[in-house]
Amino acid sequence: MVLVLSTTRFPISKAKEVGKRYLEVSRKFPPDKTLGKDILRLGTRIIGDEVESIGLVEVKEGKYDEYLELTTKVELMYADIEGINFKVDLFLSGVKSLPLVGLEMPE
């Protein structure tokens, strides 16, 4: 299974604007359980003069392309906010990655 870690960074001065937009976007694009399972819908911290938010989703087999397309649509809804940046990282689960080196995930 593929795990997708989405990271968003923006200036702390934009926190309220980003927060309001997050609520709007969440109503327009509620979690789609047909694409995957939220491990962490939203985690946030402050680093210096920026806010960093993360989300972690376990994407279902065969749904990665559809999930990535949805993620891109969501990110574009923030495009007018100055200083906002996105990063999407992909990870294989232990069940998928350990066999690549001839091992099995313990139960």
The domains of the chain, with CATH numbers, are: 2-93 (3.30.70.600)
| Amino acid in the structure at residue 107 | E
Encoding tokens for residue 99?
A: 């066999």
Contact between 39 and 5 (Cβ < 8 Å): no
Please give the structure tokens belonging to residue 34: 């047909």
pLDDT tens series, the chain, 107 aa: 799 999 999 999 999 999 999 999 999 999 999 999 999 999 999 999 999 999 999 999 999 999 999 999 999 999 999 999 999 999 998 888 999 999 998 98
Element of type H or E holding 75: helix 64-76
CA trace torsion 86, 31, 53, 4 (10° rounding): -60
Beta strands in 48-82, from DSSP E residues, in sequence order? 50-59
